[in-house]
Amino acid sequence: MANAKRAAVRASQNMSRARYDSIQARERAARQAAEAQERSPRSVGHPGFAESLIPVWGSGREAVADFQEGDYAGAALNGALAASDLFLAESIAKGLGKGAFYVAENAAKNPYDWDRYVRPWLGKERAMLAPLQHGHHWLIPQNRWGKNVPDWIKNQPWNIKPMPDAVTHWRIDHRVGALPRFNPAQRY
């Protein structure tokens, strides 16, 4: 009888062990399924540090990831940040456009134009030329081969020689009435 009792106790222990193993197996399977679901790409994922610094893209991706993960307050905040990035990008684009227009408009003006800028500057600010006094480009001429030299070089003060009168200036390159053209020694 003791043997039968022992056999019955062993059988009940074996059953409870089998039941315990089956419960453990079910729990393990449920845990693995939950982990697999967490690992599955339910969202686009949060941006890394460098990616989050990109205007619009970083906060926009963060907003999408928060929304897909159920963090609606974070999604709203990051969506608002993405919208503010759009306003920033718009103002930068407008500024660049205005700057480009300003540069293009002023690039058409030659700041070294003799008549408009350099001659008045040499007269008023530098006191190098009196009003209506001629200035001769002594080393690099304005015309002839000097046309190939940029204005910012040939219209410098070192290249301008004040002339006593207009006739003297004209005689450097031309004959004026009965007066002959200056010879090479008299020109400079």
Task: Give me the residue spans of the domains in the chain.
Answer: 1-40, 44-108, 114-187
pTM comes to 0.41
Q: What pLDDT is recorded for position 3?
A: 64
Q: Number of helices (H) and strands (E), helices first, in the chain?
A: 8, 2
Q: What pLDDT is recorded for position 62?
A: 92
Contact 80, 74 (CB under 8 A): no
171-183 pLDDT, tens digit each: 988 899 999 999 8
Q: What pLDDT is recorded for position 13?
A: 60
Q: What pLDDT is recorded for position 159?
A: 92
Q: What pLDDT is recorded for position 45?
A: 83
Q: What pLDDT is recorded for position 63?
A: 92
Q: What pLDDT is recorded for position 88?
A: 85
Residues of the chain with pLDDT under 50: 40
Beta strand 160-162 with 135-137 is: antiparallel
Rounded to whole angstroms, the Cα distance separating 132 from 165 reads 9
Which token pair is 13?
A: 């222990």
Rounded to whole angstroms, the Cα distance separating 160 from 185 reads 18
Q: What is the DSSP string of 42-104?
A: -S-----HHHHTSTTHHHHHHHHHHHHTT-HHHHHHHHHHHHHHHHHHHHHHHHHHHHHHHHH
**Residue 135: is it exposed, middle or buried by C-beta count within 10 angstroms (0-12/13-18/19+)?**
buried
Q: Is 130 strand, coil or helix?
A: coil
> Hunting for tokens 């399924």 — which residue is that?
33
Q: What pLDDT is recorded for position 41?
A: 60
Q: What pLDDT is recorded for position 4?
A: 60
